[in-house]
Chain A
């Protein structure tokens, strides 16, 4: 009898191993084929657009597009003394060109972000540049005295660079200068870092409140008989399903100075009619409304974890002599940690990017970083700064998302 074991073959003679591998490969392709349409769709309408916007955070070609020759000659300028006639001549020609094409405003705005006051200098000089003759240096210097300043030229050279870290610097309140690199902005101009901090603090406070309010409710729902808890669950799910704007509007009605809470406080005599509390259009309003809106996201994961904890564990601890507090701290609480982690992270992630509620009830002191991004996107049209701020926010959120996936697993997200 030969010692070699014949490979098992399928009916058509091919080895079974090969055939199995082929079948597995085919089913792999089939599964991937089902996912592919959505994946391609998300890639095209979600991932790529966000990536394209993020590129704007380090890339701004406004100056280079409208004044390409000036940008080129500025590359060779040493940056320490006033430039020579060549640069002035190029500048004059291109200023005249942008004046004719009506693009000078865009260039001026771009430089203005690096050097405030540059806007008027550019538009004024462009107007005169149409009629300028050689020597251009004298003509331009006569047009506006800012052209005599080396710092002004340094600012222009910085803006003429297409790839720049300046916007990320600005997003962290640092100013970029040509010779000294990054420097912190003056104390009262540091707004972004403060706003990032406020966003983190408010998100943490909202998360804390959600945990504080959500834990007892989830516990009650998990321990009550199913009939009652299902009924009470409606009270959690109904707000969850109600429009965000409806709830925000309602909080305005409740918290405003003539609102329900203040009326009750005046009625029971906590405060007088003239000194009503300002509970909305400030940080309080933001925290209260956001806590309300995000509370279901805390209750639901906590509930689903608590549901699985057998009540006999705590009873066993009690029968072994533990006090109720001790039994709770040592036996019950540790078992709910996964729920706390899941709910807390979810609430924090959602809170950190909140936009609508702070914009409506936040007033001055309650706005978050998202509102600043929207402002630069929609009003000041400084898209590069918006992209840099968004890039930092997105980085933070993705980090938390990764942590969430590690702790909870995204396939364990439950809704209702």
Chain B
């Protein structure tokens, strides 16, 4: 946005002042990530920048906290790094177990949430759907209701049917929390869906199943996948339900970080945080690519 020639001095000052303010706000937004990255390579066991780090002394940096992700909780962390060492880490490592749990719970709940949510979104986007507004409000409400209340309610109810401290209980909770995101993204994709395609397919003799899988699904797939990614990241980042419903056996990465922050603050958390930032960058890129693809598929050109 170049300034037109008729701008006064005051307007020019304001223009650059405004830019500067926005720059500071962007800095505020990105600062946590900027701080976490270098601190995770700190050689000292603190959350602070040492003088050596500021001088870019190579001795002030190390990858020990990344190694600690693997070794924490191992039976023999100092043994030579051979197959037995990796097997030990895979079996006993606390963070490794948390990572495994996060992926098990995340993937399972994403699969369920995506299939249920996509079906519901297709139903909700049909104009014939009765009580649409009310049902939509109920289905979105897990996103709105405070997590503590959701988790406490499940904790109370699951206690009566012995679901607490089981994988199933945790997965069910994460499905509930993930579905609103699937519904929102898939409904948004369906808004641009040309319904005459379904009629065309039907008139050409395709059954309901064929029409769904061959015509509708490929077109809304980008929305479904980004909904799935939202559901996955929700589960991957969720800690309140885990605190209430899970036993140490089902500890996930956020749960491990939670106790790490409260009990023994160690830069291993920052190393894990850095890895999580990398993961979110990857997911963000995938979502953006999907969005572009979806817009291209639906024939929307960006202006």
B144 adjacent to A292 (CB under 8 Å)? no
A39 adjacent to B135 (CB under 8 Å)? yes
Instruction: Given A33-B123, A53-B157, A243-B254, answer yes or no on A46-B176 (Cβ-Cβ < 8 Å).
Output: yes
A241 adjacent to B28 (CB under 8 Å)? no
Chain A, range 192-235, C-beta contacts under 8 Å to B: 213, 216-217, 220, 223-226, 232, 234-235
A236 at interface by CB-CB < 8 Å: yes
A42 adjacent to B149 (CB under 8 Å)? no
B237 adjacent to A244 (CB under 8 Å)? yes
A407 at interface by CB-CB < 8 Å: no
B194 at interface by CB-CB < 8 Å: no
B239 adjacent to A245 (CB under 8 Å)? yes
- Taking a contact as CB atoms closer than 8 A, the residue among B181, B276, B284 that contacts A243 in the complex is B276
Q: Chain A contacts of B276 at CB under 8 A?
A: 242-243, 246
A383 at interface by CB-CB < 8 Å: yes
CA A236 to CA B27, docked complex, whole Å: 10
- Taking a contact as CB atoms closer than 8 A, the residue among B30, B36, B265 that contacts A238 in the complex is B30
A50 adjacent to B135 (CB under 8 Å)? no
Instruction: Given A349-B144, A415-B184, answer yes or no on A28-B129 (Cβ-Cβ < 8 Å).
Output: yes
User: B7 — nearest CB in chain A belongs to which residue?
Assistant: A324
User: A373 — nearest CB in chain B belongs to which residue?
Assistant: B148
A191 at interface by CB-CB < 8 Å: no
B184 adjacent to A377 (CB under 8 Å)? no
CA A89 to CA B31, docked complex, whole Å: 70
A374 adjacent to B152 (CB under 8 Å)? yes
Query: Would you give the shortest CB distance from B237 to chain A, in whole angstroms?
Result: 5
Instruction: Given A250-B273, A360-B261, A383-B156, answer yes or no on A259-B148 (Cβ-Cβ < 8 Å).
Output: no
Q: Chain A contacts of B22 at CB under 8 A?
A: 216-217, 220
B254 adjacent to A401 (CB under 8 Å)? no
A31 at interface by CB-CB < 8 Å: yes
Query: Would you give the shortest CB distance from B284 to chain A, in whole angstroms?
Result: 5
User: A291 — nearest CB in chain B belongs to which residue?
Assistant: B28
CA A352 to CA B149, docked complex, whole Å: 12
B111 at interface by CB-CB < 8 Å: no
9-residue interface stretch from A119-127, A177-185, A386-394: A386-394
CA A330 to CA B273, docked complex, whole Å: 45
A244 adjacent to B230 (CB under 8 Å)? no
9-residue interface stretch from B58-66, B69-77, B83-91, B113-121: B113-121
Q: Chain A contacts of B21 at CB under 8 A?
A: 216
Chain A, range 262-320, C-beta contacts under 8 Å to B: 263, 292, 295-296
B277 adjacent to A246 (CB under 8 Å)? yes
Q: Chain A contacts of B130 at CB under 8 A?
A: 28, 31-32
User: B179 — nearest CB in chain A belongs to which residue?
Assistant: A38
Instruction: Given A353-B148, A378-B244, answer yes or no on A34-B261 (Cβ-Cβ < 8 Å).
Output: no
B119 adjacent to A217 (CB under 8 Å)? no
B205 at interface by CB-CB < 8 Å: no
User: How many pairs, one residue from A and one from B, have CB atoms within 8 Å of each other in the complex?
Assistant: 269
Q: Chain B contacts of A252 at CB under 8 A?
A: 47, 261, 265
CA A320 to CA B196, docked complex, whole Å: 47
CA A251 to CA B157, docked complex, whole Å: 35
B29 adjacent to A239 (CB under 8 Å)? yes
Q: Chain A contacts of B124 at CB under 8 A?
A: 31, 35
Q: Chain A contacts of B18 at CB under 8 A?
A: 216, 220
Q: Chain B contacts of A38 at CB under 8 A?
A: 116-117, 119-120, 139, 179
Q: Chain A contacts of B47 at CB under 8 A?
A: 252-253, 256, 258-259
Q: Chain A contacts of B173 at CB under 8 A?
A: 45
User: B130 — nearest CB in chain A belongs to which residue?
Assistant: A28
Query: Would you give the shortest CB distance from A92 to chain B, in whole angstroms?
Result: 33
Q: Chain A contacts of B172 at CB under 8 A?
A: 45
A356 adjacent to B140 (CB under 8 Å)? no
Query: Would you give the shortest CB distance from B62 to chain A, in whole angstroms?
Result: 17
Q: Chain B contacts of A292 at CB under 8 A?
A: 28-29, 32
B258 adjacent to A356 (CB under 8 Å)? yes
Chain B positions 265 through 286: 1 when the CB is less than 8 Å from some CB of chain A, otherwise 0: 1000110010011001101100
B239 adjacent to A397 (CB under 8 Å)? no
Q: Chain B contacts of A58 at CB under 8 A?
A: none
Chain B positions 17 through 52: 1 when the CB is less than 8 Å from some CB of chain A, otherwise 0: 011011001101111110110010000001111000
A46 adjacent to B142 (CB under 8 Å)? yes
A37 adjacent to B239 (CB under 8 Å)? no
B294 at interface by CB-CB < 8 Å: no
CA A216 to CA B179, docked complex, whole Å: 32
CA A45 to CA B181, docked complex, whole Å: 17
B185 at interface by CB-CB < 8 Å: yes
Instruction: Given A213-B25, A254-B32, A405-B137, answer yes or no on A245-B156 (Cβ-Cβ < 8 Å).
Output: no
B261 adjacent to A49 (CB under 8 Å)? no
Chain B positions 133 through 171: 1 when the CB is less than 8 Å from some CB of chain A, otherwise 0: 101111111101111111011111110000000000000
Chain B positions 242 through 258: 1 when the CB is less than 8 Å from some CB of chain A, otherwise 0: 01100000000110011
12 intermolecular pairs with C-beta atoms under 8 Å apart: A31-B130, A41-B116, A46-B141, A50-B153, A53-B149, A220-B22, A237-B284, A238-B281, A241-B283, A360-B261, A393-B149, A414-B184
Binding site for A on B (CB under 8 A): 1, 11, 14, 18-19, 21-22, 25-26, 28-33, 35-36, 39, 46-49, 116-117, 119-120, 122-124, 126, 128-130, 133, 135-142, 144-150, 152-158, 172-173, 175-176, 179, 181, 184-185, 187-188, 230, 233, 236-237, 239-240, 243-244, 253-254, 257-258, 261-262, 265, 269-270, 273, 276-277, 280-281, 283-284, 287, 291, 302-303
Top 10 A-B pairs, shortest CB-CB distance: A353-B146, A34-B123, A250-B32, A49-B157, A50-B153, A35-B123, A38-B120, A49-B153, A246-B273, A241-B280
